[in-house]
A and B are shown apart, each in its own frame.
Chain A
Amino acid sequence: MNVTVLKPAPSPAPKPAAQVLALPVVAKRPQWIAGLGRVLGESVAPPVVVLGVLLLIWQIAFSGAGSGLPAPTDVWEQSRELITSPFFVYGTQDIGLGWRVLTSLERVAYGFGLAAVVGVLVGAILGQSALMMRGFDPIFQVLRTVPPLAWLPISLAAFMDSGPSAIFVIFITAIWPIIINTAAGVRAIPQDYRNVAAVLRLNQIEFFFKIMVPSAAPYIFSGLRIGVGLSWLAIVAAEMLTGGVGIGFFIWDAWNSSRLTDIIVALVYIGLTGFVLDRLVGWIGRVVSRGTTE
């Protein structure tokens, strides 16, 4: 919100107008450029340099005959098309990695979306009761550490079908931090807000939407952020079940046909997508909880 809009008129206009007006125009431009230069120098240059050095080391270490892993130049030579054109379609099974990422994202959207809704609701209920929290928290802390792959057999046994099982694996991997963080956020709701709700006689549903969610938003979103990272981590495990065209299954498939360079390219795609997801949820969280934290 713009704070300055309703403020009283600014202080009296500067008297030597021409002089004063000219100065900032001259002074501001180099400052702006200097600012950009500083950002480039401080935030962009270091990772680029480090990346270059790492690629170089990799190249030196694995070039030459008989090395187990492909060097960066091998990756470029053998998987160039995967890198340069993410969105080609040659057949139903032969598509660019961009499409594969989108397919996997859809799957994650179902699993994570479900985990978000259920996790926030369960967390809200648990957070309201200290006793329930004491009972459930240790169990969640244990379940939280179970790796996605370990849920596979149980999930298959329960659902029989690979599609729902894959979504369940993503769901069950992502839900724990969402529950735990939401419950912590609900417990941290100030007594003042509860008193306001009590005086107004808000019912449970009104309390949930009008007090609980906005007040606990920073906590909820830190849970969602961890959750989205975990659900993306589970994608390879989930797609080992389903097959199809997802990026997770692509890795499994490439491994089975020994296309190591393809796997390396896919890893980069997965990493970058995960990074974007993480930043996206973090950004949404910051926007949504701006009112709560100020």
Chain B
Amino acid sequence: MDQSYLKIDRVFKSYSKGPKTTEVLADIRLTIDKGEFVSIIGHSGCGKSTLLNLIAGLTVVTTGAIKLEGREVNAPGPDRAVVFQNHSLLPWLSVYDNVKLAVSKVFGSKKTKAERHDWIMQNLDLVQMTHASDKRPGEISGGMRQRVGIARALAMEPKILLLDEPFGALDALTRAHLQDAVMDIHARLGNTMIMITHDVDEAVLLADRIVMMTNGPAATIGDVLPVAIPRPRDRIALASHPDYVRAREAVLRFLYERHRFVEAAE
């Protein structure tokens, strides 16, 4: 029995529509340690979301296995909380109630009502959203919604936090703020985090390791790049840090030289 925290073992994933089968992921092997921050980067449509959904248990593997602390993952659960690309807050609930839905479900029997309230506020405070707790998602900005999505996920006290391009739709400034927020949370809570991104700078800034995926169909892990820059990391100081520049170059080289995105391949 091996001791790895999250183990993705020879995972294949294909979708079949009638007689036609498309292989999306092929032979994915990856182990992730507890407390590690892993970024997954790759061209659009290669299967990053598919991989994340497999870890979340929202879709099932075709062959292979995903194990969390030695136990196989085959259904979704609050121990693997997801921050979705489009925030996925429930529009009819206030910010507070969106987080409350998760907290009541996960801690309904373990915490008293007052404790649950404190826990909700604590998580909203973590993303600096307590001031808008009574607002509906439709009344706050995109960046704020994404913050609430993160608070909701953190409030489940997950073993692993899965983030699917959480800042993809945001402007650069808001993005930078939220990246800092995520780094801060990771430093304070020490969660294991897996984050999909399109953004090379984001990957290098946040990750301990960058997983680079080849193009689909039958995408697999092309390379894994460790980023050995000490934390806390500061985006301005980092810009000229030799390790940062080297890591950035390596990712760019992978994406644009070795695995160029072939347009209209299908």
Contacts and interface: CB of A to CB of B under 8 A. Distances in A.
A45 interface: no
A291 B76 contact: no
A291 B136 contact: yes
A199 B82 contact: yes
Interface residues on B, range: 20 to 34
A168 B82 CA distance: 47
Contacts of B84: 192, 195-196
A292 interface: yes
A206 B84 CA distance: 21
A211 B90 contact: yes
B92 A199 contact: no
Contact of B105 (A195, A201, A291, A292): A201
B101 interface: yes
Contacts of B105: 200-202, 206
B81 interface: yes
Contacts of B138: 291, 294
A289 B106 CA distance: 27
A289 B92 CA distance: 8
B81 A199 contact: yes
Contact of A201 (B58, B77, B131, B132): B77
A3 B82 contact: no
A202 to B, nearest CB: 7
A294 B89 CA distance: 12
Interface string A257-294: 00000000000000000000000000000000101101
A27 to B, nearest CB: 30
Interface in B62-115: 76-78, 80-82, 84, 86, 88, 90-93, 101-102, 105-106
Contacts of A215: 90, 92
Contacts of A210: 90, 101
The binding surface of chain A is classed by DSSP as helix
A160 B106 CA distance: 52
A292 B90 CA distance: 8
B139 interface: yes
B139 A292 contact: no
Contact of B135 (A6, A195, A214): A6
B56 interface: yes
Contacts of B91: 291-292, 294
Contacts of B58: 195, 198-199
Contacts of B80: 199
A157 interface: no
A169 B104 CA distance: 43
A197 to B, nearest CB: 9
B106 A1 contact: no
A3 B57 CA distance: 38
Interface of A: 1, 3, 6, 192-193, 195-196, 198-202, 206, 210-211, 214-215, 217, 289, 291-292, 294
Given A6-B134, A202-B105, A292-B91, 13 more contacts: A192-B88, A195-B88, A196-B84, A198-B57, A199-B77, A199-B156, A200-B78, A201-B76, A201-B77, A201-B105, A289-B92, A291-B136, A294-B136
20 contacts: A1-B134, A6-B135, A192-B84, A192-B86, A193-B90, A195-B58, A195-B84, A196-B84, A198-B58, A199-B56, A199-B78, A199-B81, A199-B156, A200-B102, A200-B106, A201-B78, A215-B92, A292-B92, A294-B91, A294-B136
3 residue pairs, one from A and one from B, having the closest CB atoms: A291-B92, A294-B138, A192-B88
Interface of B: 56-58, 76-78, 80-82, 84, 86, 88, 90-93, 101-102, 105-106, 131-132, 134-136, 138-139, 156
